[in-house]
Amino acid sequence: MRILLVGATGTIGKAIASVLESLGDEVIGVGHSSGERSVDLANAEALRRFFDATGALDAVVCAAGVAQFGSVQELNDEAYDSSIANKLMGQVNLVRFGRGAVREGGSFTLTTGTLSVRPTPGTAAVAMASGGVESFVRAAALDLRGRYRVNAVSPGWVAESRQAIGLAPMPGIWAADLARCYVRLVHGDATGQIVEAEE
């Protein structure tokens, strides 16, 4: 398969690329500030133009999406706006604008996070953005059924991300184990599914 992977330079994205490539897929990796190719999820016009140059694809996988942490008392207009533009609408727009590039029968696999259903204090915007993506996935899959599959992986805390801030890796999920959830959705036949992946 020829697969566009947004967030390919990240902790989760690198692991997804590695598993897909080990299975013989061609991965077109895209970063934001690094890597050969880049795109800004938060820039809708750039994203629309981006798909003019990708060529034909079998699947789009997104392992990117930024939302702002902070309590309801702390989050300002900009924090909500940027969370919506990036993690929520950025991923919605991958499906909207990517349809022209993805062959019929192809798929979109997005990324949310378990804070959408099990929030902790200080995560209102993050939970909101992930919850929005999950609702979009369930509804879009109905509209696109038979033409495109749309799913999301909802990770818990990734072990490598815990280590990066000095925590013990557990309770967490290793990126390589998480990557297999994405690959099962890309290579399978599910649609409208939110796959939770924790330790």
Ligand X SMILES: NC(=O)c1ccc[n+]([C@@H]2O[C@H](COP(=O)([O-])OP(=O)(O)OC[C@H]3O[C@@H](n4cnc5c(N)ncnc54)[C@H](OP(=O)(O)O)[C@@H]3O)[C@@H](O)[C@H]2O)c1
Which range of residues in 30-38, 52-60, 70-78, 135-143 is near ligand X by CB under 6 A? Answer: 30-38
CA–CA gap between residue 112 and residue 131 (Å, rounded)? 7
* DSSP H helices in 10-155: 11-22, 44-50, 77-83, 89-98, 124-144
Looking at 3, 4, 19, 42, which residue binds ligand X (CB under 6 A)? 42
- Of the listed pieces 35-43, 52-60, 69-77, 183-191, which binds ligand X according to CB under 6 A? 35-43
Could you give the string, one character per residue 100-119, with x where binding to ligand X holds by CB under 6 A and - elsewhere? -----------x-x------
Please pick, from the candidates 119, 161, 176, 180, the single residue that binds ligand X as defined by CB under 6 A: 161
Binding to ligand X by residue 120, rule CB under 6 A?
no
Cβ nearer to ligand X, comparing 107 with 109: 109
Give the residue, chosen from 28, 44, 66, 195, that forms a contact with ligand X under the rule CB under 6 A.
66
Q: How far apart are CA 47 and CA 149, in angstroms?
A: 20
State yes or no: residue 155 binds ligand X (CB under 6 A). Answer: yes
Tell me, by CB under 6 A, how many residues bind ligand X: 29
Q: What are phi and psi of 51, to 5 degrees?
A: -70, -15
What SS3 class is residue 183? helix
Q: Which tokens is 186 given?
A: 């890309």
Out of 3, 20, 27, 63, which residue is the one contacting ligand X (CB under 6 A)? 63
Nearest to 98 by CA among 30, 147, 52, 157: 52
Residues between 74 and 103 that touch ligand X (CB under 6 A): 86-87
Cβ atoms of 11 and 179 within 8 Å: the answer is no
User: What is the token pair recorded at 21?
Assistant: 């490539």
> SS3 letters for 96-109?
HHHCCCEEEEEEEE
Binding site for ligand X (CB under 6 A): 6-13, 31-35, 39-42, 63-66, 86-87, 111, 113, 155, 157-158, 161
